[in-house]
Amino acid sequence: MKKLFFVSALSLFSMSAFAQDDAVNKAVVDQFRKDKEKSDKDLTDAKASAKASFWMERAKLYENIALQGSEVDSSAAKTSLEAYKKVVELDKTKKGEPGKSAKEAENVLAGGEGSQLFNAFVKQGAEKYQAKNLNGALEMFTAAQEINKKDTLASLYGGIAAQQLDKKDVAREQFEKYAANGGKDPSVFYGLAQLYREEKNFDKAIEALNKGLAQSPNNKDLKAEVVNILLASGNESKAISELEALAQADPKNIQNVVNLAILYDNMQRTAADSVKQLSAKMGSGSKSAASLTKNLEAEKSKIEVYDGEVKRIGALIKKQPKNADLKRQLADVNAKKKETIAAIATMEGEVKSATEAAQSSASSGSEKQLADLKAKQKDASEKAIANYKKALEIDGANYDALYNLGVFYFNEAVQLKGEVDNMNMTEYQQRGKEIEGRVCGKFKKAKPYFEKAIQAKDEAEAKDNLTTVNGVLEQFAAKQVACVEE
């Protein structure tokens, strides 16, 4: 997440605006101390403190202390604010309407013409921030916003202070005020989006980024973060659409092209996994039915054997009608035949159920779903390769494009090798060698990309994969398998 920092103007605000030579400054501060002591003392005088004029003097004194002598009272702006409110409370005409002083105080409290109280709060807030008193700074900036509700400066600084205090709700509220009042700093909208993203409120995060883009239409960070949040929210299709637009608008921006390739790469891997799972599910029904049918036929073949035994033993019994052992053998064979007939009936039911399940899977749309997934995988694969190669046209030494393209062909080789591993001897004799040649070709195709990736950046992952590829190619060479590159 990008961090937000005070711009340099903040430190300048608290120093340069009221800079003066040390001698004059010391005299001013000393006078502020004396005036403050007197005002604080008169505060206990019931007669003096009952007059609006006393509170007006006190309000202006503390306002000036905040603006020119914070070392006298680092929270003078707060005291000034309360004093102005007291003026409004006390200065009433006989008709109960605000008097002259009350109107002046109301103007100050509303941030009207000539009012300096807002600046007093912002200045002391900046000073507290610089002194690492973040809670005090946030309090000052929040108070400043009550005086000037349309200002963006105090809400910006308030949001930054709240963010550093990890008061996320407050930071979000402050940055929203900044945006609502017409703030334009892109980093604020980026930070606001991150706050929403942490809550998984992706719609609000996108909304914040779009507000920022309305102010800064060409900001690349905001545009890229829209894509990131769409991905985080699982909206991959829209993320690709946004990134396609970015890549088209700025065709030389290699990161956009690489990111687009990675998105398509991820999409094709997800589709490949789905193809594998659905194929296994569809195949399990057919394989189960075939296996059960095979077992059924084997069981039926026993009947013929038993019938032969019954005929043979029956002939012997005719010759030896009193032979008890032959009669026992005949009874055993008939019992086994009866068991087999019952087993056949059960197995025929199982074969029927498995066959119906396989047919149901085929008729339920699984075949179309599988075809759609394969088409999606093929399309995403082609676009991933095209964008990786496009990135390498921009920068032939881009590590991410080189490494990922190597991994792409490596994974294709592994997937194809799985077909060979699952073959029986008959299948292998028929087409195993041909597929092994293609597997070898895929690994061979991956090799130069890993080699170039290592040249671009000395990374262990690329080295490990290259070692594996070289080992596999040596095995194929030892088996005299000719690599077939497609």
Tokens 């942490």 belong to 198
pLDDT, position 93: 82
Choose among 126, 8, 143, 4: nearest CA to 67: 126
DSSP state for residue 363 in the 8-state scheme: I
Choose among 269, 267, 258: nearest CA to 401: 258
pLDDT, position 13: 45
Tokens of 195: 């706050």
Q: What is the pLDDT of residues 398-447, one digit of tens each?
A: 999 999 999 999 999 988 888 888 888 888 888 888 999 999 999 999 99
pLDDT, position 16: 40
Tally of helices (H runs) and strands (E runs) in the chain? 20, 0
What is the rounded distance in angstroms from the CA atom of residue 443 to the CA atom of residue 46?
Answer: 94
| 3-class DSSP assignment, residue 129 | helix
Q: Look up residue 340 and give its amino acid.
A: T
Angle at 14 between CA 8 and CA 19, to 5 degrees: 115
92 forms bridges with which residues in the sheet?
98
What is the rounded distance in angstroms from the CA atom of residue 125 to the CA atom of residue 458?
Answer: 48
Tokens of 119: 């600046």
Angle of helix 220-232 relative to helix 236-249, nearest 10 degrees? 160
> Is the distance from CB of 275 to CB of 373 less than 8 angstroms?
yes
What is the rounded distance in angstroms from the CA atom of residue 154 to the CA atom of residue 170?
Answer: 13
Choose among 307, 310, 290, 300: nearest CA to 346: 300
- Provide, for the chain, the percentages of residues in helix, strand and coil under a 3-state DSSP scheme, each rounded to the nearest 5: 80, 0, 20
pLDDT, position 6: 38
What is the rounded distance in angstroms from the CA atom of residue 42 to the CA atom of residue 29?
Answer: 20
What is the rounded distance in angstroms from the CA atom of residue 232 to the CA atom of residue 248?
Answer: 23
pLDDT, position 365: 63
pLDDT, position 19: 44
Nearest-10 Cα torsion for 340, 341, 346, 352 = 120
Q: What is the pLDDT of residues 209-236, one digit of tens each?
A: 989 988 888 888 888 888 888 888 888 8
Give residue 208's Cα distance to chain centre: 16
What is the rounded distance in angstroms from the CA atom of residue 483 to the CA atom of residue 476?
Answer: 8
98 forms bridges with which residues in the sheet?
92
Question: Is the pTM above the cut of 0.75?
Answer: no
pLDDT, position 109: 93
pLDDT, position 57: 95
Tokens of 395: 């920068």
| 3-class DSSP assignment, residue 92 | strand
Q: How many CB atoms lie within 10 A of CB 253?
A: 15
What is the rounded distance in angstroms from the CA atom of residue 123 to the CA atom of residue 12?
Answer: 10
pLDDT means per 10 residues, the chain with 486 residues, are: 40 41 73 93 88 94 93 94 94 86 92 88 93 94 93 92 94 94 92 93 92 87 86 84 86 86 86 78 60 79 84 86 83 86 87 73 67 87 93 94 93 87 82 90 94 94 94 92 88
Tokens 């009669």 belong to 327
Choose among 252, 184, 171: nearest CA to 214: 184
Q: How many CB atoms lie within 10 A of CB 68?
A: 19
Contacts of 307 (CB under 8 A, 6+ apart): 337
